[in-house]
Amino acid sequence: MLQGWVIVLASFLYLGILFAIAWYADRRADSGRSLIANPAVYALSLGVYCTTWTFYGSVGRAAASGIGFLPIYLGPTLLFALAGFILHKMIRVAKTNRITSIADFVASRYGKSQLLGGLVTVIAVVGVIPYIALQLKAVSNSFAILASYPDIIMPAKAGAVPLLQDSALYVAMILAAFTILFGTRHLDATERHEGMVAAIAVESVVKLVAFLAVGVFVVWGMHDGVGDIFAQAALAPEVAHRLASADSPAAYGTWGTLIFLSMFASLLLPRQFQIAVVENVDESHLRRAVWMFPLYLFLINLFVLPVALAGLLHFPGGGGVDADTFVLTLPMAHQQEALALFVYIGGLSAATGMVIVETIALSTMVCNDLVMPLLLRLPVLGLAARADLSGLLLEIRRWAIAVILCLGYLYFRVAGEAYALVSIGLISFAAVAQFAPVVIGGLFWKGGTRDGALAGLAAGFVLWTYTLLLPSFAKSGWLPDGFIAHGLFGIELLRPQVLFGLAGLDEITHCLVWSLLVNMGAYIGVSLMRVPNLREARQATLFVGGAEAAGIPGWRGSAGIDDLLPLAGRFLGLERAQEAFSRHARQRGLRSLHELPADTRLVGFAETLLAGAIGSASARAMVASVVTEEPLGIDEVMNILDEASQVRAYTRELEQKSRELTRATAELRQANARLQELDRMKDDFISTVTHELRTPLTSIRAFSEMLHEDPRIDLAQRSRFLGIIVSETVRLSRLINQILDLAKLESGRAEWTVAAVDVAEVIREAADSLAPLFVDKRVSLQLDGCEAGLNVLADRDRLMQVMVNLLSNALKFVPVASGRVKVDVGAAAGEVRVSVTDNGPGIEAGDQEVIFEKFRQGTGNTDVLIDKPQGTGLGLPISRQIIEYFNGRLWVESTPGAGACFVFTLPRQAGDNGASQPTGEQP
């Protein structure tokens, strides 16, 4: 019944069901009602860790070394159960940074380095090829074995079958087609494949159930329970011998290695990373998974040992039946056709699950991190300008899938027989273990740099290739194996499996020791050689710092002096910035600012420094945006800072202009007020002057008219009137002259004849000219101190004018007959002092300044009509103008009732006596 075509049909049927499930799940995802957003599905999908290695290989390993099959399940169990926080962090970081693969993770962490992404991809592809080959081998072998039912014939050696008859080739081709159909129907920005996850979860169930079915059959169908199997095994010496070997010391060493390796592998294998991290829908699902996944592992391994023992018992002495095949051959040997088919489907399930997820993950990495960066760099293809590259991307991925499976098949043919299934898997484990330092370091150490990661990965990969991969080719005969025995170039120390004399370890451990040693050493060493640059630091904060760094005010992170100095320099000026940082370095006990480490303190200092220039909020925003993730390159930050500083400079300019404007406006307002006042003053002056001029005119006209009207006015009246006319005319003329004089003086258009003037002489002359008037009024005039030699620099005539004015004023106000006027001349402190004192009524304090105003005259006379002062009221203002022109002062001292004393001073001039030639020189 189990003919070839039945098996083939069953296979295709199963694959079809898987495809249908995937398609349905994708449909549900598109409509928003996701099938897989469920912690149970997540935990089950993690079961993709268990491949045909688990399905077939565990029994094989158990048959060879007892419970030695366990360690690779202990690793994940320990990781999930005890170190779940690592997974939490990884998922959180991946989600925050939109990570789509392990290559993306590493590249992004170390400053978004495409080179690093490419390297990781290459390592992943090379490392996982053996593992894919393993699946191909398992499927083709299981098919061959089942097809030869009821005989149990072990399939031929991998390389022995001609190419076109090799079922493995067809398996590879079918799987390639299936995967392409599965995973490259459309592009998803998040690289999530809900359909795939649903199918994988179903597959996990299928293989678990299949294995359990076999187990149940073996334990209770073939025997009478577990105890029965162990009892029988103990009786068979060679079986017991197998069990005992599990306790050898070498076994423990290997256990340690295997636990270690499997811990990393369960996270770092591309398919594991894809399912556990990228496809994770909700971080909270992890909480269920940390116990569900170990439970799954426990269940699927439950019957491994019993089956192994039963197989050894049933096919004694290595009777031509590979222990790897016990799960299949035992039911076959007992004519359990249905069960055998089910088991075969289980195995197929395990294989397809692995291949699909692994190749999809790898093709994503190849496309995103290897091919596309290269293609985009070739300007001839003009790809960077194309708007929609999705078609191209999908094509690349399809080809990647095909090529990977092709390579897997090639490895299978070339090296598939060198090892048992388990060992091939371990080669892959050791390869992805190279990612451990950069990934774990990337999650927990901020000091890792891109160069360090490159160095570590490259070194580790080289050693892995040399100590594990090449020997595997050599042992299959495709490479000369001389170098294994004698070392590269014949140097014994360079023997790949006993490198530098490290003997006594199995090859996996040996490889692990050397590759991880060199890897970690290079990673840490090269990272420490320089401080992480801004990008790396930024990414470090995002990855290591966790959620706190994601744009929340209390930032944490670091940036180096090489980036912070120019940043601060753009704002403060490079010198000032250097100064400040040097100070900071000195405070921290360093010799120069270049020794400053890229740590929080430094960035905090830079922030404070910037805050002084651009304000604390802006400084914080700037530093935060530079240290935390923001799609701002350093150029963009500089541009923003430049713009901000330009804006500030402009604002300062504007403020200054505004202030100037305000000042100018105030000045203008003041000037305007002054002008208005002057205008008013001018109006007042004109009004007063016209009034003053009109007054004498009135008399002149009135009397003239009256005389004209009536010629018969008597002589006495007539002469009286004519006398008044004459005197008013004189008054008028005098007034006009004085007004003009004052106007000239005030406008500065007066002509001065300046020379050294003998003051005493002028006084005497003035007194002489007024003497008749004094005699008329019978007022005494006394001159004191009028010595020669008191010279001043002045205009003689004008000085005369002043003296006449003062003397005539005094004369005007003193009483008749008892009036006394005295002139005193003296010199003191470089000045000549002249005073004119009278014993008139004096001037009230309030009037002492008023009298120097234009047209103002003294009051205080009892009978204004009679004693109205003859005068224009312009004498004193003019005198003051004259005196002040020559840098002198004119003022009055008076007490009402005690006379008045007018004083003026002039700077004394040393000069010859009597030399009063006008020189016309101005001092």
Partner 1 sequence: MSHRVLIVDDEPNIVISLEYLIKKEGFEVAVATDGEAALQQAADFVPDLILLDVMMPKKSGFEVCQALRADPAQAAVKIIMLTARGRETEVAKGLALGADAYITKPFSTKELVLQIKSLLA
CA–CA separation, 190 and 172 (whole Å): 28
Interacting residues with partner 1 between 500 and 559 (CB under 8 A):
none
Least distance from C-beta 868 to partner 1, angstroms? 6
By CB under 8 A, name the one of 114, 148, 232, 699 that touches partner 1.
Answer: 699
Beta carbon nearer to partner 1, 87 or 735: 735
Beta carbon nearer to partner 1, 579 or 710: 710
Beta carbon nearer to partner 1, 190 or 687: 687
C-alpha 413: how far from chain center:
54
**Exposed (0-12), middle (13-18) or buried (19+): which is 501, by Cβ within 10 Å?**
exposed
Least distance from C-beta 691 to partner 1, angstroms? 4
Binding segment for partner 1 (CB under 8 A), chosen from 422-430, 435-443, 724-732, 740-748, is 724-732
The answer to whether the beta carbons of residues 69 and 438 sit under 8 Å apart is: no
Binding segment for partner 1 (CB under 8 A), chosen from 177-185, 448-456, 694-702, 812-820, is 694-702
By CB under 8 A, name the one of 78, 86, 181, 697 that touches partner 1.
Answer: 697
Task: Determine, following the binding rule CB under 8 A, whether residue 687 of this chain makes contact with partner 1.
Answer: yes
Beta carbon nearer to partner 1, 212 or 697: 697
- Rounded to 5 degrees, φ, ψ at 837 are -110, 140
Task: Determine, following the binding rule CB under 8 A, whether residue 719 of this chain makes contact with partner 1.
Answer: no
Least distance from C-beta 844 to partner 1, angstroms? 14
Interacting residues with partner 1 between 831 and 860 (CB under 8 A):
859
Least distance from C-beta 846 to partner 1, angstroms? 15
CA–CA separation, 922 and 887 (whole Å): 12
CA–CA separation, 549 and 167 (whole Å): 54
Task: Determine, following the binding rule CB under 8 A, whether residue 656 of this chain makes contact with partner 1.
Answer: no
The answer to whether the beta carbons of residues 210 and 52 sit under 8 Å apart is: no
The answer to whether the beta carbons of residues 457 and 119 sit under 8 Å apart is: yes
Task: Determine, following the binding rule CB under 8 A, whether residue 8 of this chain makes contact with partner 1.
Answer: no
Task: Determine, following the binding rule CB under 8 A, whether residue 716 of this chain makes contact with partner 1.
Answer: no
Q: What is the dihedral of CA 582, 588, 589, 592, to 10 degrees?
A: -20
Binding segment for partner 1 (CB under 8 A), chosen from 199-207, 308-316, 740-748, 864-872, is 864-872
Least distance from C-beta 761 to partner 1, angstroms? 38
C-alpha 701: how far from chain center:
96
Q: Biggest alpha carbon distance in the chain?
A: 186
CA–CA separation, 802 and 876 (whole Å): 8
By CB under 8 A, name the one of 96, 618, 695, 729 that touches partner 1.
Answer: 695
By CB under 8 A, name the one of 377, 694, 778, 889 that touches partner 1.
Answer: 694
The answer to whether the beta carbons of residues 86 and 79 sit under 8 Å apart is: yes
Task: Determine, following the binding rule CB under 8 A, whether residue 486 of this chain makes contact with partner 1.
Answer: no
Task: Determine, following the binding rule CB under 8 A, whether residue 743 of this chain makes contact with partner 1.
Answer: no
Least distance from C-beta 777 to partner 1, angstroms? 18
By CB under 8 A, name the one of 302, 376, 644, 724 that touches partner 1.
Answer: 724
By CB under 8 A, name the one of 657, 701, 778, 889 that touches partner 1.
Answer: 701
Beta carbon nearer to partner 1, 486 or 691: 691
Task: Determine, following the binding rule CB under 8 A, whether residue 702 of this chain makes contact with partner 1.
Answer: yes
Beta carbon nearer to partner 1, 190 or 733: 733
The answer to whether the beta carbons of residues 82 and 294 sit under 8 Å apart is: no
Structure tokens at 889: 């002062």
CA–CA separation, 348 and 741 (whole Å): 130
DSSP secondary structure letters along 388-405: --HHHHHHHHHHHHHHHH
Contacts of 787 (CB under 8 A, 6+ apart): 760, 825
Binding segment for partner 1 (CB under 8 A), chosen from 68-76, 392-400, 520-528, 691-699, is 691-699
By CB under 8 A, name the one of 703, 774, 852, 886 that touches partner 1.
Answer: 703
Secondary structure of residue 825 in the 3-state scheme: strand
Beta carbon nearer to partner 1, 659 or 682: 682
By CB under 8 A, name the one of 164, 816, 865, 910 that touches partner 1.
Answer: 865
Task: Determine, following the binding rule CB under 8 A, whether residue 682 of this chain makes contact with partner 1.
Answer: no
Secondary structure of residue 809 in the 3-state scheme: helix
CA R_g for the chain = 58
Beta carbon nearer to partner 1, 194 or 728: 728
Task: Determine, following the binding rule CB under 8 A, whether residue 690 of this chain makes contact with partner 1.
Answer: yes
Q: What angle do CA 116, 117, 122 make, to 5 degrees?
A: 95
Task: Determine, following the binding rule CB under 8 A, whether residue 114 of this chain makes contact with partner 1.
Answer: no
Beta carbon nearer to partner 1, 636 or 867: 867
E-only strand ranges, 297-354:
none
Binding segment for partner 1 (CB under 8 A), chosen from 260-268, 705-713, 846-854, 888-896, is 705-713
Least distance from C-beta 864 to partner 1, angstroms? 6
DSSP secondary structure letters along 691-725: HHHHHHHHHHHHHHHHHHH-TT--HHHHHHHHHHH
Size of the site for partner 1 (CB under 8 A): 27
From residue 122 to residue 151, what is the string marking binding to partner 1 with x (rule CB under 8 A)?
A: ------------------------------
- Rounded to 5 degrees, φ, ψ at 682 are -60, -45
Task: Determine, following the binding rule CB under 8 A, whether residue 27 of this chain makes contact with partner 1.
Answer: no
CA–CA separation, 443 and 754 (whole Å): 99
Least distance from C-beta 790 to partner 1, angstroms? 41
Beta carbon nearer to partner 1, 167 or 699: 699
By CB under 8 A, name the one of 451, 728, 795, 847 that touches partner 1.
Answer: 728
The answer to whether the beta carbons of residues 227 and 235 sit under 8 Å apart is: no
Tell me the torsion sign for CA atoms 262, 263, 268, 272: positive
Beta carbon nearer to partner 1, 588 or 701: 701
Task: Determine, following the binding rule CB under 8 A, whether residue 663 of this chain makes contact with partner 1.
Answer: no
Interacting residues with partner 1 between 774 and 793 (CB under 8 A):
none
For the chain, how far is it from start to end, CA to CA, in angstroms? 142
Task: Determine, following the binding rule CB under 8 A, whether residue 733 of this chain makes contact with partner 1.
Answer: no
Task: Determine, following the binding rule CB under 8 A, whether residue 715 of this chain makes contact with partner 1.
Answer: no
Interacting residues with partner 1 between 277 and 336 (CB under 8 A):
none
Secondary structure of residue 823 in the 3-state scheme: strand
Least distance from C-beta 726 to partner 1, angstroms? 11
Binding segment for partner 1 (CB under 8 A), chosen from 9-17, 517-525, 551-559, 692-700, is 692-700
Least distance from C-beta 863 to partner 1, angstroms? 9
Least distance from C-beta 748 to partner 1, angstroms? 30
- According to DSSP, the residues that pair with 900 across neighbouring strands are 838, 894
Least distance from C-beta 716 to partner 1, angstroms? 12
CA nearest 901: which of 840, 817, 818? 840
Task: Determine, following the binding rule CB under 8 A, whether residue 874 of this chain makes contact with partner 1.
Answer: no
Task: Determine, following the binding rule CB under 8 A, whether residue 753 of this chain makes contact with partner 1.
Answer: no
Specify the length of the chain in residues.
Answer: 923
Q: Which residues of 393-407 are buried (b: 16+ CB within 10 A; e: fewer)?
A: bbebbbbbbbbbbeb
Beta carbon nearer to partner 1, 728 or 838: 728
DSSP secondary structure letters along 629-690: --S--HHHHHHHHHHHHHHHHHHHHHHHHHHHHHHHHHHHHHHHHHHHHHHHHHHHHHHHHH
Q: Are strands 889-894 and 820-828 parallel, antiparallel or unpaired?
A: unpaired
For partner 1, the binding residues (CB under 8 A) are 687, 690-691, 694-703, 705-706, 709-710, 717, 721, 724, 727-728, 859, 864-866, 868
